[in-house]
């Protein structure tokens, strides 16, 4: 038995286990930079179970990473799985051979835009970010958005001032999109933020986003 056959047996076994213990999920494969969960992107319905990595039974705060148990012959990193009934959504972060499928549970829907360049060289009348000149990067992407321990600094620096928050944002790789510091984020709660750092790894994007207060 070679590695390919062994991997196939593991996937089949996970698929059978999911049929017994799992819930039906719709699988989506994003096309384009907007609305990855559009109906046209749904390509299969399959049973799946999501468990804590390492066999832990309990769920802690701020832990978006799960192990997916399903027949991964049908999926690939970047796909979304939406559980029927409660619409809880995960994206597939990694499918390494002979290892559990790494999935990230999402809790927000986000979009990103890049601020436009100044309208003219030299001194301009306004140096802030203008939404009218921002270029859309992507929209409608389910993501994990969790509070980061890093906080911003209020510009007034008064004792009673609250400091703006910061979030760690996890997203799959998006074809044709490269995030950079300074890009703007909005979410489905109406919050806005600015990317402070952007890291692309084999698991997708990990962004540090600082909340904007104006």
Could you report the per-residue pLDDT of 19-60, keeping only the tens digit for each?
999 999 999 999 999 999 999 999 999 999 999 877 666 677
Under DSSP, is residue 22 helix (H, G, I), strand (E, B) or coil?
Answer: coil
Could you report the per-residue pLDDT of 80-89, keeping only the tens digit for each?
999 998 999 9
Under DSSP, is residue 165 helix (H, G, I), strand (E, B) or coil?
Answer: coil
Per-residue confidence (pLDDT) for residue 156, from 0 to 100: 45
Counting Cα atoms < 13 Å in the Cβ hemisphere of 171 gives: 29
Alpha carbon 47 to chain centroid, angstroms = 22
Distance in angstroms (rounded) separating the CA atoms of residues 112 and 37: 17
> Per-residue DSSP letters for 94-114?
E--TTSPEEEEE--EEEEEEE
12: part of which helix (H) or strand (E)?
helix 3-21
Could you report the per-residue pLDDT of 53-95, keeping only the tens digit for each?
776 666 777 889 999 999 999 999 999 999 998 999 999 999 9
The better pLDDT of the pair 182, 120 is held by 182
The residue written with tokens 């990230």 in the block is 104
Greatest Cα pair distance, the chain, in angstroms, is 70
Distance in angstroms (rounded) separating the CA atoms of residues 93 and 182: 25
8: part of which helix (H) or strand (E)?
helix 3-21
Taking the CA atoms of 173, 174, 180 and 185 in sequence, report the sign of the dihedral they define.
Answer: negative
Q: Give Cα separations from 81 to 27, 66, 133, 201 (angstroms).
A: 5, 12, 34, 21
Question: Which residues are CB-neighbours of 28 under 8 A, at least 6 positions away?
Answer: 36, 37, 38, 41, 42, 43, 79, 80, 81, 82
The better pLDDT of the pair 158, 135 is held by 135
Share of the chain above pLDDT 90, in %: 69
């Amino acid at each position: 038995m070679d590695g390919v056959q062994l991997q196939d047996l593991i996937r089949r076994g996970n698929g059978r286990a999911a049929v017994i213990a799992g819930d039906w999920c719709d699988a989506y494969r994003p096309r384009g930079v907007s609305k990855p969960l559009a109906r046209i992107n749904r390509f299969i319905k399959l049973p799946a179970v999501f468990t804590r990595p390492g066999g832990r039974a309990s769920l802690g705060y701020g832990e978006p990473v799960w192990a997916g148990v399903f027949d991964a012959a049908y999926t690939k990193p970047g796909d979304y799985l939406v559980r029927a009934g409660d619409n809880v959504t995960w994206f597939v972060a990694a499918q390494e051979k002979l290892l559990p499928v790494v999935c990230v549970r999402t809790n927000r829907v986000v979009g990103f835009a890049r601020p436009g360049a100044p309208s003219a060289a030299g001194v301009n009348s306004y140096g802030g970010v203008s939404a009218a000149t921002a270029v859309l990067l992507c929209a409608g992407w389910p993501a994990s958005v969790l509070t980061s321990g890093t906080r911003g600094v209020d510009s007034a620096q008064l004792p009673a001032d609250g400091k703006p928050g910061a979030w760690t944002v996890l997203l799959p790789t998006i074809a044709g999109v490269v995030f950079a510091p300074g890009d703007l984020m909005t979410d489905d709660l109406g919050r806005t933020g600015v990317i402070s750092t952007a890291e692309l790894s084999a698991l997708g994007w990990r962004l540090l986003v600082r909340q904007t207060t104006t």
